[in-house]
């Protein structure tokens, strides 16, 4: 038996190590032989480690990361039930220096499981401040990187000098230090926040390939605040008028005009939403073209920003962005304006050219240079109006034309464009005004047929509403502007024929034939009808009651109001009361002041001109009448000689009748 010098315990003869403490036992069998084997083994291990270190540092070889678990290639499986060998593993020596390298050490580092991020925790609000530091507005945003990167709309940043970011349920706010990237067609921007003490909850932006994999009828979620709203893709590859692609969502209870953020069901950011309406809320510079009813929300894809953009430094501050756009130099604005003009991006060109011209005036730029920009601005307005017309966005086209005319009020082509657009919008009065401007500027007859059609349309609209008086005035106004128009005379004659104002209808039809021979056939047909009516009609006979001191009858004024008149063959003028004049809509106070002689003596009255005065179809058009003041609450209307002298009339006292007939 051998005694261990370390723990004083006994072990069997020939043992090399103590069975209790594992220390070497002096005097055991094979002491030197075993020591030599152990020494050689240790030397081999040391040589293997040196060789591995040398290979790791050799050129062209990747460094070996620190192992979390190490295994030796080619090692045999442990036999079941056998305890592990306490000796270090043997290292095989290469057969010769030119042979393959020794077995490599394989390192595997397991990745930590991804932490699930709640979308609600990533929603943020941007508080925007003006140059004076006053709060201007607030806009929603979403965190897309834990280091503090925010995805938001770009357009709300224009004119802003400072931005702070706050999150729901979190005290305080974090300043935005600048803009990393922005995409103007998509109206998206990446903003970087000031460094934070701890990582922020953030969502991933889906990659471009993932975005392209989205398909119609895929289900996604939208947010307008905390809590998801289910939505469905209606068109996965919808393209706006300027070529920007995105998603169009189908209408559902989950989406509305307040929807802001679109994410996949797994929680990755697809993009930001905006409503598809004509007056685009929050985005006045972009309108989605009309689509079938129910498709109302468009998603601008966030994948326009590859993920590596999130790691880029800030490009410029929000204040610098505002100053660059709104306070840029003339040269900067001119260069940018010329570039957008060259690319026919008319809307952007208009804004930049206007800014450049304004800045040029402040910087005392030579007039010739500014005139060239003005010519480009005019062409940009025409180009933008035409582009919007082609896409049937007529309201925007009309607004653009009106805005252009603020700068180019004497441009006949721009006025003509406005007339075309207003015709599509059925704004007939504005069509007429625009065409009159064209006629005045160009002194051309090319607009005459268009004006005649516009006045006719104006009259037809009045007739549809049952307002014959307004229709008549539309034709009269047209004849004042186009005194040589035969077609307007023909249309007005048709109204007078319906009102039995035959004399005026005959006069207008005869004039229409003289002015336009192409109207002869239509005019003659209408004249024939009037002749048939007049030839078959007897004279108007008004009975005079026995003992009556006056002849009374009903007269129709302006084709719409009937009133009782006294036929007075001794009165020079036809007269109406102030009450009747007001009922007809005349501001008689502005009429010409004249002096007349009445039974009560001389008096001053107002004289106006009625559109028509008709006695059972015998009518006089454009008749001057005087307006008599009312006395003691009594009013009187007189039919005088300036009406009667147009016809043949007589008073038969024996038969007790007043007779009126054609001359």
Looking at residue 537, its pLDDT comes to 66
Looking at residue 93, its pLDDT comes to 45
> Could you tell me the CA-to-CA distances from 72 to 50, 96, 110, 519, 625 in Å, in that order?
16, 21, 18, 108, 121
- What is the Cα–Cα distance from 150 to 178, expressed in whole angstroms? 11
pTM for the complete prediction?
0.41
| Nearest Cα residue to 247 out of 265, 279, 222 | 222
Chain mean position to CA 275: 9
Looking at residue 485, its pLDDT comes to 92
| Alpha helix (H) residue ranges in 225-366 | 318-326, 330-342, 346-362
DSSP conformational letter for 305? S
Instruction: Specify whether the CB–CB gap between 333 and 355 falls below 8 A.
Output: yes
- What is the Cα–Cα distance from 163 to 64, expressed in whole angstroms? 46
Instruction: Specify whether the CB–CB gap between 186 and 301 falls below 8 A.
Output: yes
Reduce the secondary structure of 178-189 to three states and give it as a string.
EEEEEECCCCEE
Looking at residue 597, its pLDDT comes to 80
The full set of domains in the chain, from first to last, is 1-59 (no CATH), 208-304 (2.40.10), 330-530 (1.25.40.10), 540-661 (2.40.70.10)
| Alpha helix (H) residue ranges in 177-288 | 208-213
In the block, residue with structure tokens 């030119």: 98
- What is the Cα–Cα distance from 402 to 409, expressed in whole angstroms? 9
Looking at residue 444, its pLDDT comes to 73
Instruction: Specify whether the CB–CB gap between 471 and 495 falls below 8 A.
Output: yes
| Nearest Cα residue to 615 out of 544, 663, 549, 567 | 567
Cα–Cα–Cα angle for 315, 351, 272, rounded to 5 degrees? 55
Secondary structure of residue 598 in the 3-state scheme: strand
- Tell me the CB-side half-sphere exposure of residue 609, using CA atoms within 13 A: 5
**DSSP notation for 425-445:** TT-HHHHHHHHHHHHHHH--G
- What is the Cα–Cα distance from 533 to 536, expressed in whole angstroms? 5
Tokens of 229: 């709203």
Looking at residue 590, its pLDDT comes to 85
Pairing of strands 561-567, 70-72: unpaired
Phi, psi (degrees; rounded to nearest 5) at 21: -110, -10
- What is the Cα–Cα distance from 502 to 529, expressed in whole angstroms? 10
559 Rama class: left (phi>0) / alpha (psi -120 to 50) / beta: left
- What is the Cα–Cα distance from 185 to 286, expressed in whole angstroms? 9
Tokens of 552: 């009374």
Residues of the chain scoring pLDDT < 50: 29-34, 37, 57-100, 103-113, 278-292, 294-295
Instruction: Specify whether the CB–CB gap between 576 and 625 falls below 8 A.
Output: yes
Q: What is the largest CA-CA distance in the chain?
A: 178
Helix (H) or strand (E) holding 375: helix 367-390
Looking at residue 282, its pLDDT comes to 37
Chain mean position to CA 195: 36
């Amino acid at each position: 038996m051998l005694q261990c010098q370390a723990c004083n315990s006994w072990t069997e003869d020939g043992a090399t190590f103590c069975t209790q403490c594992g220390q070497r036992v002096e005097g055991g069998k094979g002491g030197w032989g075993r020591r030599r084997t152990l020494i050689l083994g240790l030397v081999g291990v040391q040589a293997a480690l040196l060789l591995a270190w040398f290979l790791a540092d050799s050129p062209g070889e990747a460094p070996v990361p620190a192992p979390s678990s190490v295994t030796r290639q080619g090692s045999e499986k442990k036999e079941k039930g056998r305890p592990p060998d306490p000796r270090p593993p043997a290292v095989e020596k290469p057969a010769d220096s030119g042979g393959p390298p020794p077995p490599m050490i394989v390192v595997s580092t397991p990745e930590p499981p991804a932490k699930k991020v709640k979308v609600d925790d990533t929603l943020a609000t941007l508080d925007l401040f003006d140059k004076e530091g006053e709060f201007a507005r607030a806009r929603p945003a979403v965190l897309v990187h834990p280091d503090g990167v925010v995805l938001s709309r770009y357009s709300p940043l224009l004119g802003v000098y400072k931005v702070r970011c706050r999150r729901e349920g979190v005290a305080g706010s974090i300043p935005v230090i600048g803009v990393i990237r922005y995409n103007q067609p998509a109206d998206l921007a990446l903003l970087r926040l000031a460094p934070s003490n701890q990582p922020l909850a953030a969502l991933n932006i889906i990659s471009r390939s993932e975005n392209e994999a989205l398909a119609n009828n895929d289900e996604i979620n939208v947010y307008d605040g905390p809590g998801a709203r289910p939505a469905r893709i209606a068109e996965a590859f919808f393209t706006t008028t300027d070529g920007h692609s995105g998603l169009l969502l189908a209408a559902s209870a989950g989406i509305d005009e307040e929807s802001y953020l679109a994410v996949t069901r797994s929680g990755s950011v697809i993009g930001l939403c905006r409503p598809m309406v004509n007056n685009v809320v929050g985005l006045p510079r972009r309108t989605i073209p009309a689509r079938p009813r129910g498709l109302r929300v468009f998603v601008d894809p966030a994948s326009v920003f590859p993920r590596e953009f999130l790691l880029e430094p800030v490009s410029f501050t929000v204040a610098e962005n505002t100053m660059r756009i709104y306070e840029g130099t003339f040269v900067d604005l001119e260069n940018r304006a010329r570039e957008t003009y060259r690319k026919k991006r008319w809307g952007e060109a208009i804004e930049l050219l206007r800014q450049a011209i304004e800045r040029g005036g402040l910087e005392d730029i030579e007039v010739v240079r500014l005139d060239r920009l003005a010519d480009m601005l005019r062409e940009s307005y025409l180009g933008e109006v035409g582009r919007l017309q082609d896409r049937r966005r007529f309201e925007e086209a009309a607004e653009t034309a009106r805005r252009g005319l603020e700068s180019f009020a004497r441009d006949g082509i721009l006025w003509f464009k406005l007339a075309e657009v207003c015709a599509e919008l059925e704004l007939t009065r504005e069509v007429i005004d625009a065409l009159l401007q064209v006629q005045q500027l160009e002194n051309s007859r090319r607009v005459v047929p268009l004006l005649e059609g516009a006045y006719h349309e104006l009259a037809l609209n009045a007739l549809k509403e049952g307002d014959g008086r307004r229709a008549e005035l539309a034709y009269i106004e047209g004849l004042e502007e186009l005194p040589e128009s035969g077609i307007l005379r023909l249309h007005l004659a048709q109204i007078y024929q319906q009102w039995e104002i035959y004399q005026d209808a005959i006069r207008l039809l005869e004039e229409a034939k003289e002015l336009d021979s192409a109207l002869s056939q239509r005019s003659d047909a209408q004249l024939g009808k009037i002749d048939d009516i007049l030839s078959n009609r007897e004279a108007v006979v008004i009975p005079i009651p026995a003992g009556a001191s006056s002849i009374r009858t009903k007269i129709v004024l302006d084709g719409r109001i009937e009133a009782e008149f006294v036929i007075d063959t001794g009165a020079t003028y036809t007269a109406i009361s102030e009450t009747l004049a007001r009922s007809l809509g005349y501001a008689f106070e502005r009429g010409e002041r004249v002096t007349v002689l009445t039974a009560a003596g001389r008096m001053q009255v107002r004289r106006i001109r009625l559109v028509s005065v008709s006695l059972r179809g015998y009518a006089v058009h454009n008749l001057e009448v005087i307006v008599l003041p009312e006395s003691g609450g009594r009013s009187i209307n007189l039919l005088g000689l300036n009406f009667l002298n147009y016809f043949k009339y007589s008073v038969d006292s024996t038969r007790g009748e007043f007779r009126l007939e054609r001359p």
